[in-house]
């Protein structure tokens, strides 16, 4: 199950090892702990871990926790759990916040070299001075402060003498650079906020563009893989590495982030769905989070295969979410035992079947894999079938049950519908059928054929169950910024119904996965399943029109 196909990042790594630029490669997965991981992160995780693995290198998990405002230890724990669940083990666990002192020292070095200065302009003024793509920026009036003054002010920033936003530390690069990121970017800002790791020790925090290259260099990362929006930041990344005189020189490589149809994939938006109660937490099975996919019933194997197959490129693209579904279907087709479940029950009385008799019928757990064995299912005078498998006045070519018609009950007998019982409003509430003992499944009966096969469960022994059926949470594709994605929420994303499963399902454990005959693949919900009520989440339908 190892990746084999090549991609441009592997080519770079291969080349670097061949020319002896590195003896061993080191990659990292660097999440900010401000939310749960989603399927997009899985792409980055699979890429970083499998790249290092293929070249006998190492991968670290590093929390990029330089912004105290949005970070939380709950997220740290969930991220660790999700990476491991996906099947990866990091070499080292790091926190960027552990390097705050070292980053501070490097900033002092920049000041001493005349490469950084304390600036009193407000954020808005800095934006105004920066200029545009067609117009050079204007130098800050504080740009030429002396090294002594800068050292003194930076020290006082750290000591907490100034309020949030009053001063920043900026790199002194080039206000006329065609790359806006190089026009004296901010390196440090003042923020009087408590940090999940360092508490109140710091009130100045490094900006991403300054912190990230240093984190990579401190850890000896050789290939720092990030998404395309950082391509324009690479000159700044390299500037920080060079001017801070770090011992090791990591190389930034960009690839296109994963986008999926009918899916929002920014932590900010996902958090909004959680905070506004649109979903039942970060692990709601409708969420594209790893925790949500796990709870829905996805396997790590399916997610890893998906991540490999979508490939690594630089060009922007949107992947059809049906491709993800393809891989879970394929995985579960091999692994999930078959069983019968009735989602919308209609009672059938088999009038010629002896009262009080129960017989056990043999059923295979997977017709494609005899090694998965057989099970015994009870059959007696009363059973449930799907409401949809009966029509009083069927159209042509309807081969399921209707008055006078005979169908096969999967693993059991042929039954014929003789009488339809209705309530006072005319709704069908029960069918009276007869069975033919000659037609028992596995008996080799060839006397006559029927066109329809339907599934059923024994009414007396059936186990009540709740089924949750899902549709995409987001209608259509994610649109441009103006329209709120909250307007695109599918009001029918969740349907909850009550039905029955085979009695042997009493033994099912949390997170067990099954193929319910004709209904698709289902997972035993790990949170809402109770001793006397199993809750099943539908993972995916049996078939899709999608081809890869």
DSSP 281-346: STT-TTS-BHHHHHHHT--HHHHHHHHHHH---SS---B-HHHHHHHHHHHHHHHPPEE-EESSEE
Beta-bridge partner residues of 536: 467, 524
Q: What is residue 31's three-state secondary structure?
A: coil
Each residue 156-195 as x (binds ligand ATP by CB under 6 A) or -, in order, gives: ----------------------------------------
Q: What is residue 61's three-state secondary structure?
A: strand
Nearer to ligand ATP, 25 or 417 (CB): 25
Each residue 42-71 as x (binds ligand ATP by CB under 6 A) or -, in order, gives: -xx-------------------x-------
For 248-269, b/e burial (b = at least 16 CB within 10 A) is eebbbbbbbbbebbbbbbebeb
Both tokens of 95, joined, read 């926190």
Q: Nearest distance from residue 36's CB to ligand ATP, in Å? A: 10
Q: Which of 3, 26, 31, 306 binds ligand ATP (CB under 6 A)?
A: 31
Give the chain's largest Cα–Cα span.
Answer: 102
Nearest residue to 307 via CA among 61, 43, 38: 43
Which residue reads 């690594």 in tokens? 312
Nearer to ligand ATP, 227 or 365 (CB): 227
Binding site members for L-glutamine:
64, 208
Q: Is 267 annotated as catalytic?
A: yes
Binding site members:
32-34, 38-44, 64, 208, 227, 257-258, 265-267
Nearer to ligand ATP, 147 or 313 (CB): 313
Nearer to ligand ATP, 252 or 299 (CB): 252
Q: Are strands 251-255 and 345-350 parallel, antiparallel or unpaired?
A: unpaired
Nearer to ligand ATP, 39 or 336 (CB): 39
Q: Nearest distance from residue 117's CB to ligand ATP, in Å? A: 28
Contact 209, 233 (CB under 8 A): yes
463-470: strand order across its sheet:
338-339, 513-516, 520-524, 534-540, 463-470, 494-501, 341-342
Q: Which of 3, 40, 300, 520 binds ligand ATP (CB under 6 A)?
A: 40
Q: How many Cα atoms are found within 13 Å in the side-chain-facing hemisphere of 6?
A: 6
Q: Does 323 bind ligand ATP (CB under 6 A)?
A: no
Q: Which of 227, 365, 366, 466 binds ligand ATP (CB under 6 A)?
A: 227
Q: Which of 196, 212, 267, 513 binds ligand ATP (CB under 6 A)?
A: 267
Taking CB under 6 A as the binding criterion, the range among 37-45, 68-76, 361-369, 377-385 that sits at the site for ligand ATP is 37-45
Q: Does 266 bind ligand ATP (CB under 6 A)?
A: yes
Q: Is 32 annotated as catalytic?
A: yes
Taking CB under 6 A as the binding criterion, the range among 27-35, 276-284, 359-367, 515-523 that sits at the site for ligand ATP is 27-35
Contact 407, 453 (CB under 8 A): yes
Taking CB under 6 A as the binding criterion, the range among 36-44, 319-327, 434-442, 505-513 that sits at the site for ligand ATP is 36-44
Q: List the catalytic residue out of 32, 54, 125, 359.
A: 32
Q: Which of 121, 187, 221, 226 binds ligand ATP (CB under 6 A)?
A: 226
Q: Tell me how far apart the alpha carbons of residues 79 and 38 are, in angstroms, rounded to a whole number.
A: 10
Q: Nearest distance from residue 254's CB to ligand ATP, in Å? A: 9
Provide the terminal-to-terminal Cα distance of the chain, rounded to the nearest Å.
19
Taking each continuous run of H as one helix and of E as one strand, the counts in the chain are 12, 25
Q: Is 286 annotated as catalytic?
A: no
Q: Does 265 bind ligand ATP (CB under 6 A)?
A: yes
What residues are labeled active site? 32, 257, 267
- Residues in contact with ligand ATP by CB under 6 A are 30-32, 40-41, 43-44, 64, 226-227, 257-258, 265-267
């Amino acid at each position: 199950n190892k990746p084999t196909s090549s991609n441009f990042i592997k080519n770079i790594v291969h080349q670097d090892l061949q020319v002896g630029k590195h003896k061993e490669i080191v990659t990292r997965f660097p999440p900010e702990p401000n939310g749960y991981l989603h399927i997009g992160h899985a792409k980055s995780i699979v890429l970083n871990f499998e790249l290092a693995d293929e070249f006998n290198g190492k991968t670290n998990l590093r929390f990029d926790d330089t912004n105290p405002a949005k970070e939380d230890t709950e997220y740290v724990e969930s991220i660790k759990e999700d990476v491991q669940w996906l099947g990866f083990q990091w070499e080292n666990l790091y926190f960027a916040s552990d390097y705050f002192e070292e980053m501070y020292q490097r900033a002092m070095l920049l000041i001493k070299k005349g490469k950084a200065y304390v600036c009193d302009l407000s954020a808005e003024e800095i934006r105004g001075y920066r200029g545009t793509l067609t117009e050079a920026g204007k130098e800050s009036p504080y740009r030429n402060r002396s090294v002594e003054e800068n050292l003194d002010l930076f020290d006082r920033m750290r000591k907490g003498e100034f309020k949030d936003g009053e001063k920043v530390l900026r790199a002194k690069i080039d206000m006329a650079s065609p790359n806006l990121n190089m026009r004296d970017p901010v390196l440090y800002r003042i923020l009087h906020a408590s940090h999940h790791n360092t508490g109140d020790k710091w009130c100045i925090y490094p900006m991403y563009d300054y912190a990230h290259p240093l984190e990579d260099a401190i850890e000896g990362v050789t290939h720092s893989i990030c998404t395309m929006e950082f391509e324009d930041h690479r000159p700044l990344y390299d500037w920080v590495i060079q001017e801070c005189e770090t011992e090791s020189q990591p190389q930034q490589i960009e690839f296109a982030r994963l986008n999926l149809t009918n899916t929002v994939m920014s932590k900010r938006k996902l958090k909004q769905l959680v905070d506004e109660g649109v979903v039942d937490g970060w692990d709601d099975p409708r969420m594209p989070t790893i925790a949500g996919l796990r709870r829905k019933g996805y396997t790590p194997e399916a997610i890893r295969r998906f991540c490999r197959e979508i490939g690594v490129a630089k060009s922007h693209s949107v992947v059809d979410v049906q491709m993800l579904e393809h891989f879970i279907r394929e995985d579960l087709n091999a692994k999930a035992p078959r069983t019968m479940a009735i989602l919308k029950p209609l009672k059938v009385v088999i009038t010629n079947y002896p009262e009080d008799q129960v017989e056990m019928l043999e059923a295979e757990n997977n017709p494609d894999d005899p090694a998965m064995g057989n099970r015994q299912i009870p059959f007696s005078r009363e059973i449930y079938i799907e409401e949809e498998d009966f029509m009083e006045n069927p159209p042509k070519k309807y081969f399921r049950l209707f008055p006078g018609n005979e169908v096969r009950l999967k693993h059991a007998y042929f039954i014929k519908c003789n009488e339809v019982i209705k309530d006072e409003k005319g709704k069908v509430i029960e069918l009276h059928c007869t069975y033919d003992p000659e037609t028992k499944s596995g008996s080799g009966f060839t006397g006559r054929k029927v066109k329809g096969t339907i599934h059923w469960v024994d009414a007396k022994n059936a186990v009540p169950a709740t089924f949750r059926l899902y549709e995409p949470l987001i209608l259509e594709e994610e649109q441009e910024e103006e329209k709120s994605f909250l307007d695109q929420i599918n009001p029918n994303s969740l349907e909850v119904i009550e039905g029955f499963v085979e009695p042997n399902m009493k033994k099912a454990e949390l997170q067990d996965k099954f193929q319910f005959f004709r209904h698709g693949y289902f997972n035993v919900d790990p949170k809402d399943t109770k001793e006397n009520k199993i809750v099943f989440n539908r993972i995916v339908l049996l078939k899709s029109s999608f081809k890869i």
